[in-house]
Amino acid sequence: MSNPAPLVDPFQRAISYLRVSVTDRCDFRCVYCMSENMTFLPKKELLTLEELDRMCSAFVRLGVSKLRITGGEPLVRREIMTFFRSMSRHLDSGALEELTLTTNGSQLSRFADDLFAAGVRRVNVSLDTLDEDKFARVTRWGRLPQVLKGIDAAQAAGLRVKINVVALKGFNEEELFSLADWCASRDMDLTFIEVMPMGDLGGEDRVGQYWSLDDLQAQLASRFTLTDLPERTGGPARYVRVEETGQKIGLITPLTHNFCESCNRVRLTCTGELFMCLGQEDNADLRSALRGSEADAPLEEAIRRAISLKPKGHDFDYSRQKADGQVSRHMSHTGG
């Protein structure tokens, strides 16, 4: 089979990274992500596991080399290991460089070994606090010991773990150093994320929650010598090295620093919509193209059309003390 032309958007950005939300459901209800009473999509709206496979395989044929599985909570989707196992054929063929996932960690003790066997080598685990009560408050339904057990299982299985922390003003500010020390002591990478204005959460105060990572970095710098690292991954993260410990800390700052010029990624929802930009409403319906024909050519054509519409960037802006550029969907829908 001849190699098809790679995916390049109108701003000459090569698209090599697909994030796939495999479910909008979750066993937690994090306050910045979901409301307590979420209405989830009817099952028939979801792509089946076979359809997800066909969809992801089409992207891999078109040059996507990195696949991140997310949600909702990806590990609560029934039979999700069948999907991971089937995607591993693209790792075996060399077409895919990396298969990875973002998880809340609640199901990792069940699945860590299976994930490793399917070729997964790294997982991102979201964890905003090491205090059991605060954890219960921020996730509403989560239990910290279960997640810590999951992280133990992941490391025991040989998975490299990165901890993602949403920086929340007045919530985990005082845990900055304890989180950094904990990650360093367990040889885990650490990334902080600025809270983004996604979805209507029934009166949650976005501006009040917002803790600028410039402030966070200044606090880190009060104790450590930080060196900016040139390394970029095509996404919103930038990295600093803590000279005293060698630890690398990521900062995802969509609000204070624009990252769009190097964006290499698109996001597929569990219903087969492709979001070309996390911060814009524009999307393309790939499910119709997929269900409309057993041949893959119309789907590949629809993917190319969608990529040709990828916008230049997002419009999030808190500078006027309100959540400008807010998008109406929840993070769990697009996949964070």
Q: Give the residues lining the site for ligand SAM (CB under 6 A).
A: 26, 32-33, 70-71, 73, 102-104, 126, 164, 166, 193, 195-196, 198, 331-332, 336
Q: Give all strands (DSSP E) within 169-211, no chain letters.
A: 189-194
CA distance 330 to 31: 11
> Which CB sits closer to ligand SF4, 119 or 142?
142
- Smallest distance from the beta carbon of 166 to ligand SAM, in angstroms? 5
* Residue 198 contact, options ligand SF4, ligand SAM, none, Cβ 5-8 Å cut-off depending on partner type: ligand SAM
CA distance 82 to 132: 33
What is the distance in angstroms between the CA of the first residue and the CA of the last residue of the chain? 34
* Residue 150 contact, options ligand SAM, ligand SF4, none, Cβ 5-8 Å cut-off depending on partner type: none
* Residue 34 contact, options ligand SF4, ligand SAM, none, Cβ 5-8 Å cut-off depending on partner type: ligand SF4
- Smallest distance from the beta carbon of 225 to ligand SAM, in angstroms? 28
Q: Are strands 66-70 and 17-21 parallel, antiparallel or unpaired?
A: parallel
Could you give phi then psi for residue 55, rounded to 5 degrees? Answer: -65, -50
> Which CB sits closer to ligand SF4, 105 or 119?
105
- Smallest distance from the beta carbon of 26 to ligand SAM, in angstroms? 6
Q: Which residues bind ligand SF4 (CB under 6 A)?
A: 26, 28-30, 33-34, 71-73, 104, 126, 332
Which residue has 């070729």 as its token pair? 119
> Which CB sits closer to ligand SF4, 26 or 240?
26
HSE-up of 259 (CA within 13 Å, CB side)?
21
Query: Residues, the chain, total?
Result: 336
- Smallest distance from the beta carbon of 60 to ligand SAM, in angstroms? 21
Q: At CA 199, angle to CA 134 and CA 197, rounded to 5?
A: 75
